[in-house]
Structure 1
Amino acid sequence: MAQTAGAVEVRMGEGIAWLVMAGDAANRLTASLRRELLSALGRAEADASVACIVLMGAGACFSEGDDPAELEAPHAAPDPATLCRRVENCAKPVIAALQGRALGTGAELALAAHYRLAAPGTRFGLPNVILGLTPAAGGTQRLPRLIGAAPALELMLSGRAIPLEAAPAGLIDHLATGPLEEEARAFCAELRAEALGPRPAAQRRDGFADPIGYQQAVATRRAAVAATPNPALREIVAAVEAAQLLPFAGGLEFEGDAYETCRESEAGKALRAMAAAERAAAAAMAPARPGPRRIAVLGEGPLAVPLLLALLPVASGVAWGCESTEALHAGVIALRDRLEEAQSRGTLSEEEAEQRLSRLRVGSPSEMAGRAELILLAGPGQRDVAAPAGVSRLVAYPGRVEEVGLRFAPAPAAAKLVEVIAGPEARAEQLAEAEALALRMGCLAVRVRSGGESLGGRLFDACCRAADALVDLGQTPYDIDAACHDWGWRRGPFLRRDQMGLTRLDAQIRAEGAVNWASELARLGRKGRGAGGGFYDWPEDGAPQPSDEVGALLAARREAAPPLPAAELRRLLIGAMANEGARMLGAGMLRRASDLDLVALQVLELPRWRGGPMHVALQMGARDLRGALARVAHPDRAFWTPHPLWDDLVTRRADRWPDLWPEI
């Protein structure tokens, strides 16, 4: 007999109650699913015909855990911890039959069951730490009781999902070799034959068998995470220690307090905001479709080899077309060198490297374009090369885009995000092709409306423009960079420009009365790290040092001012970038504010645990930040004047930027 109870399908037969979670595709443990599980569990426990209860997930997944929408406030009743305690305290044996993925509170539900079976290929993990959170439903207390401190900490601190074929001893009771339901039925028969009943993890002590080793594992991990900005790492270590020292109920209370502490932390909010931004970007991408098998890269220049390196793993054939045979020869050598470096690091085997090289053809642009299914322009001068009818040409280098362009990070092979530039003549089919390619490359695609300007380029320009304005107002490059570094931003705007080379930044505009300091130093021969000096002095061996020569130049060119506090320097830099983001939103260039935050993480290398400028601006307070921007007394008033969207945020007391861009 089968009946449906909300999101839980209940089946009875042969002394077994099958409770099958049938929520969304991920079987997330929403409040409604938790309620239905509790109700179904109670009915099964009370049914005299039921000897065993099996928890399963419908479809290909056990459960991926929490609904992300629940993470910004305390869980609705019944919370996951309550559900897990009820499962653990059930008077009849509860067996979790796992398949697909058991993650987060889904994994914790499995830990609360008395026994665990798994289908081959099942992945198990507690990725809470990636969101700045501890487990919330007893994971820090049950897992170390089952497998010990060292493997439990490795699993929780890494956030990785492991295949259960390689599970630590004690995590699962049986790895299925046949259909999971049949093996669960046989497992229940064995329990009944051997008169084995419930086996609560709360009463297990297997993981405490070596108390000194347990304490040593905790101490080692505590030292390793002591300086981390993510508080969840430290709290997880403390909770695992508490599992050994406190009664089980006290350990659960400790974990609950730690979860709430992390949920309210600045780092936790930023990490969840960035994860939400990634989900939104992924949901907005065109539906998955087969990508092009044969791709041609046309043109030479610094982008060509990195593009080839990124495309070779995902295309069946890559053709590089270039008029210069010397450039082709040098490029192939550089490509081999990169692949050999990957082999030496252990990230690529010799066989894989040779396979990738075997997919590469080189020759003239016209010859290489002839059989292509997609063309990427890696440099100028290739737009008129003849190509098969209907084949899209995507502009991958900075420049004018009439139809569709792609903008990668400086290292496309390592990029996790690509901007898809929708030019004035872009067609939906071309945009879908570009996003399909991004998917094959393992990248998120962020769609941008412009004639070629990228979000990353414009954001970097705004950062430099704001930093130069602060120097105009009497601050030093070194105080500004130090304020960034102390905040977790590894390379401030002046250090970053030195490393890029200052001659590349002449095109950055400044208003009348404002100075492009990179351009000024380059004209004096201080062209950056490669020249031995830019904003900093760069000794051949050693770290960059503040330059007395630059200090004297600044003293002669503008009036010094009392140094601003580091927090104020950061506030003005972040505020200026968020103000530029507001302009992009208002002009329709940007679809969502969170897209700009993702770009900022990649292009500016802002720390993920801080979030991007649009997120940080809201955390600083829209009213205060609007006022700070308005008070900047600098000649570049058009840049510093708050965009009208700030007024809207303040009036509505909004906690998020609006979405102003209708779908294409």
Structure 2
Amino acid sequence: MGIERGDREFCVSSSFKSSGQVSYELHDDVAVMTVNNAPVNALSLAIRQDLQANIERFDSDASAKAAVIVGAGKVFIAGADIREFKLPAIEPHLPDVIDRIEECTKPVIAAIHGVALGGGLEVALGCHFRVGVKGAKVGLPEVHLGIIPGAGGTQRLPRLAGYEKALEMIPSGAPIGTSDAKAAGILDHVSEESDAVAAGLAFARSVIDEGTPMRRCSQLVPAAVDAKMFEAAKLAVAKRARGQMSPVVGVEAVEVASQTSFAEGMEKEREMFMALKNSAQHRALSHAFFSDRALGKLPEIEGVAPRQLKAIGVIGGGTMGAGIATSALMNGLSVTLIERDEEALGRAKATIAANIGGAVKKGKLSADQEVRIFEEALKLSTDYGSLSNADLVIEAVFEDIEVKKQVFKQLDAVCKAGAVLATNTSYLDVDAIAAVTERPEDVIGLHFFSPAHIMKLLEVVVAEKTAPDVIATGFQLGKIMRKVAVRAGVCDGFIGNRILASYRTAADAIVMDGSTPFDVDEVMLEFGFAMGPYAVADLAGLDIGWATRKRKAPTLAPNERFFTFPDRLCEQGWFGQKTGKGFYIYENGARKGVPNPTVFEVLAEERKQKKITEQNLSKEQILERYMAAMVNEAAKVVEEGIALRPLDVDMTLIYGYGFPRWRGGPMQYADEVGLEKILNNIREYAREDDYFWQPAKLLEELVESGRTFADLNAGKGSQSATKTRENA
């Protein structure tokens, strides 16, 4: 069939009808192909079809001497359309489209603005030249989805930029800027133009006028390399990846480029890509990717505008309060921090100054921004009246409900109408705190995680009377402060700490029944956590758990197992890293400790006192019990509406508790293992302890109906969970 432009006719394939998402326009003798698939110009089937058709059109267009590929909107091309990964593959496949670009008999230039990521950079590598505008970034982030580049990225990049650069970019997935890309040879030119079309046209003009020879990446011969480089890279990457496969496979794919022809390398790359694409890790990381984007999509705030957020107050300048203030200041908010006296204010200011100074050293803030923060944005006061104009106030005082109630009574008296009053409590009843005010609809929980200026998670805790626009404001604050905000309901510990309490109880039972804290930590490290639960407890401070156990002691049921071995350490003044001793010993301020031998003595004494017959649990048995406790409590949290969806649990555990992202969170992990297997394990454990091991009704219901947590995320709700959420 023919496509007419003026009095010219161009032949293209008639195998499909163009969607028009890639336009074709002549600028004198340069064809400009614009990819338009908002918002990120993902390489969907329609885009691939249009791009291939326009390449055919260009190659046969006698009036076009060069072509420029650009992206509409804010980016060049940000990658493949991963929504299509679950669908049957339909031609043209991306590798074939890129091969066709590279085979063109006339020069094709990629004009990059915004980002060229994944398949976007692979398209650019298939072009004969690449020009970037200032601020553009290029990268191959596929490892973050549990895969590797599958359209030639692992074969063309090392041929163009060298093995070292490929081994830097592909296993890390990190993008690089224009200066770095130019130095590596990825970009041929960095334009002073801000407009990618203008930059591309200017470069195309120079190529035409100067007769610049075309370069095909597939035909480049990379320099010889010592094979030991790849072995060293694999060891280093495997250590960082902590069980994730794709970064290591990325190294292996680059190594293939050093050993084979381009055609053989492409075949091998595709084999590796497909193996990873069909893996549990890819499913888990895709789940995490989409869950990130679903967190703020809540019916209760759909179409609801948040309240104004410019000036905030923070009550308390300790580690948590200073961290919250730091995060707010770093993200452009004005902060008034309240402390009880000038001495406490001085300590708070010093902590904030150290945090901000660290950010400047790391390049996250400029020196000018640092000056502005302390001259204009931060105010320190001992007077609650200083908060009269604050849009939102976050209380971050000692974890005692009576203390917090007193703070909220004062805030209620001084804050303006419409100000949001937030508590940073980790466990306490937000409804009870809201009840002491005359404006419970303005009260919300904002549970930050320490250190608050670094940790990504923010639990937005919705109390019974919290207004929808206050909820929306909580999520807006999370967005401003670049946090991952998750909605949570009110219960002891909300989502994360409630589940943590359960799996820590299970861990303590595992230890008391014959294992050691160090056995449990080792198993969880091998699972993919950066730290085991006992090393984490040392880091956080053992006194925190000690205080919680003392608070809960009066409410223990007669048949509830309880464990005192952590308290025996606290009674000796050993609170973990901050005192140099806990479950581990930290010599000379070391971050990583060695096992504390006293722990073995304390355990032996308590086992003897409780007449416990020791079990010799294998690593697999330790993992199964630990994860069964986590999943079971998480199911109860969803069942009760504390978390609206399983995905909210998964993101909470990933961002706040170190759950390995490549496993997708505990609910995704449970789906992979099989809910029936986990339920059967729980029922087996209940023979020993029927108080702790009570199966969640939701878990039983899903097993009985043959459904999964993924079904709940997709809106195929369970009867009990749906009813609870509606009531919530």
The match for 1:98 is 112
The match for 2:381 is 363
Mapped to 1, the partners of 2:580 and 2:109 lie a distance apart of 66
Query: Which stretch of the first structure deviates more once superposed, 91-100 or 571-580?
Result: 91-100
1:102–1:143 CA distance, 2 compared to 1 (3 A): same
User: Is it true that 1:32 corresponds to 2:79 in the alignment?
Assistant: no
The match for 2:216 is 200
The match for 1:309 is 326
1:297–1:241 CA distance, 2 compared to 1 (3 A): same
The match for 1:175 is 190
- What is the CA distance between 1:657 and its match in structure 2? 4.7
SS of structure 1 residue aligned to 2:106: coil
User: Is it true that 1:280 corresponds to 2:305 in the alignment?
Assistant: no
User: Is it true that 1:58 corresponds to 2:72 in the alignment?
Assistant: yes
- What is the CA distance between 1:650 and its match in structure 2? 5.5
User: Is it true that 1:455 corresponds to 2:509 in the alignment?
Assistant: no
SS of structure 1 residue aligned to 2:295: helix
1:528–1:657 CA distance, 2 compared to 1 (3 A): farther
The match for 2:35 is 21
Task: Tell me which of 588, 595, 609 is aligned to 2:648.
Answer: 595
Q: Do the aligned residues in 2 keep the contact of 1:526 with 1:535 (CA within 8 Å)?
A: no
Q: Do the aligned residues in 1 keep the contact of 2:565 with 2:606 (CA within 8 Å)?
A: no
Mapped to 2, the partners of 1:89 and 1:326 lie a distance apart of 71
Q: What does residue range 342-491 of structure 1 map to in structure 2 within 5 Å?
A: 352-358=369-375, 359-379=377-397, 380=404, 381-385=406-410, 386-398=414-426, 399-401=428-430, 402=434, 403-450=443-490, 453-471=493-511, 475-491=515-531
Task: Tell me which of 85, 103, 116 is aligned to 2:99.
Answer: 85
1:77–1:554 CA distance, 2 compared to 1 (3 A): farther
AA aligned opposite 2:705? T
AA aligned opposite 1:415? M
- What is the CA distance between 1:106 and its match in structure 2? 0.7
How high is the sequence identity, in percent, across the aligned residues?
26
1:316–1:220 CA distance, 2 compared to 1 (3 A): same
Task: Tell me which of 337, 343, 347 is aligned to 1:330.
Answer: 347
SS of structure 2 residue aligned to 1:56: strand
User: Is it true that 1:256 corresponds to 2:310 in the alignment?
Assistant: no
SS of structure 2 residue aligned to 1:334: helix
Q: Do the aligned residues in 1 keep the contact of 2:313 with 2:336 (CA within 8 Å)?
A: yes
- What is the CA distance between 1:510 and its match in structure 2? 5.0
The match for 1:536 is 583
User: Is it true that 1:550 corresponds to 2:595 in the alignment?
Assistant: no
The match for 1:141 is 155
Mapped to 2, the partners of 1:479 and 1:586 lie a distance apart of 32
Task: Tell me which of 328, 336, 350 is aligned to 1:319.
Answer: 336
The match for 2:560 is 514
Mapped to 2, the partners of 1:129 and 1:42 lie a distance apart of 32
1:567–1:185 CA distance, 2 compared to 1 (3 A): same
Query: Which stretch of the first structure deviates more once superposed, 124-133 or 65-74?
Result: 65-74
Deviation digits for residues 550-591 of structure 1, max 9, x if unmatched?
Answer: 223213314224322211221221122111111111111112
The match for 1:151 is 165
- What is the CA distance between 1:294 and its match in structure 2? 1.5
Deviation digits for residues 122-175 of structure 1, max 9, x if unmatched?
Answer: 111111122222111001111111111112222223312222243234212232
Q: What does residue range 570-585 of structure 1 map to in structure 2 within 5 Å?
A: 570-585=623-638
Mapped to 2, the partners of 1:490 and 1:146 lie a distance apart of 35
Mapped to 2, the partners of 1:41 and 1:564 lie a distance apart of 62
Mapped to 2, the partners of 1:523 and 1:247 lie a distance apart of 62
The match for 2:224 is 211
- What is the CA distance between 1:384 and its match in structure 2? 1.9
- What is the CA distance between 1:239 and its match in structure 2? 1.9
- What is the CA distance between 1:251 and its match in structure 2? 0.8
AA aligned opposite 2:337? W
Mapped to 1, the partners of 2:364 and 2:132 lie a distance apart of 30
The match for 1:68 is 82
Query: Which stretch of the first structure deviates more once superposed, 263-272 or 361-370?
Result: 263-272
The match for 1:41 is 55
Q: Do the aligned residues in 2 keep the contact of 1:299 with 1:365 (CA within 8 Å)?
A: no
Mapped to 2, the partners of 1:254 and 1:520 lie a distance apart of 52
TM-score scaled by length of structure 1: 0.90
- What is the CA distance between 1:537 and its match in structure 2? 6.3
Q: Do the aligned residues in 2 keep the contact of 1:574 with 1:616 (CA within 8 Å)?
A: no
Task: Tell me which of 530, 533, 556 is aligned to 1:493.
Answer: 533
1:275–1:510 CA distance, 2 compared to 1 (3 A): farther
Q: Could you list the runs of 5+ residues in structure 2 that have no partner in the other structure?
A: 7-16, 398-403, 435-442, 714-721
Q: Do the aligned residues in 1 keep the contact of 2:21 with 2:47 (CA within 8 Å)?
A: yes
Q: Do the aligned residues in 1 keep the contact of 2:33 with 2:67 (CA within 8 Å)?
A: yes
SS of structure 2 residue aligned to 1:211: coil
Task: Tell me which of 548, 553, 556 is aligned to 1:505.
Answer: 548
The match for 1:620 is 673
1:409–1:163 CA distance, 2 compared to 1 (3 A): same
Report how many residues are paired: 660
Q: Could you list the runs of 5+ residues in structure 1 that have no partner in the other structure?
A: none
1:619–1:326 CA distance, 2 compared to 1 (3 A): same
User: Is it true that 1:640 corresponds to 2:658 in the alignment?
Assistant: no
The match for 2:9 is none
SS of structure 1 residue aligned to 2:379: strand
- What is the CA distance between 1:88 and its match in structure 2? 1.3
- What is the CA distance between 1:211 and its match in structure 2? 1.5
AA aligned opposite 2:499? L
Q: Do the aligned residues in 2 keep the contact of 1:521 with 1:534 (CA within 8 Å)?
A: no
Q: Do the aligned residues in 2 keep the contact of 1:512 with 1:635 (CA within 8 Å)?
A: no
AA aligned opposite 1:485? L
SS of structure 1 residue aligned to 2:712: coil
Q: Do the aligned residues in 2 keep the contact of 1:455 with 1:599 (CA within 8 Å)?
A: yes
User: Is it true that 1:11 corresponds to 2:25 in the alignment?
Assistant: yes
Mapped to 2, the partners of 1:13 and 1:336 lie a distance apart of 54
- What is the CA distance between 1:300 and its match in structure 2? 5.7
The match for 2:10 is none
Q: Do the aligned residues in 2 keep the contact of 1:153 with 1:240 (CA within 8 Å)?
A: yes
- What is the CA distance between 1:99 and its match in structure 2? 1.6
Query: Which stretch of the first structure deviates more once superposed, 72-81 or 133-142?
Result: 72-81
SS of structure 2 residue aligned to 1:320: strand
Q: What does residue range 556-575 of structure 1 map to in structure 2 within 5 Å?
A: 556-575=609-628
- What is the CA distance between 1:252 and its match in structure 2? 0.6
Deviation digits for residues 435-467 of structure 1, max 9, x if unmatched?
Answer: 221111111211112267421111111112222
Mapped to 2, the partners of 1:600 and 1:131 lie a distance apart of 18
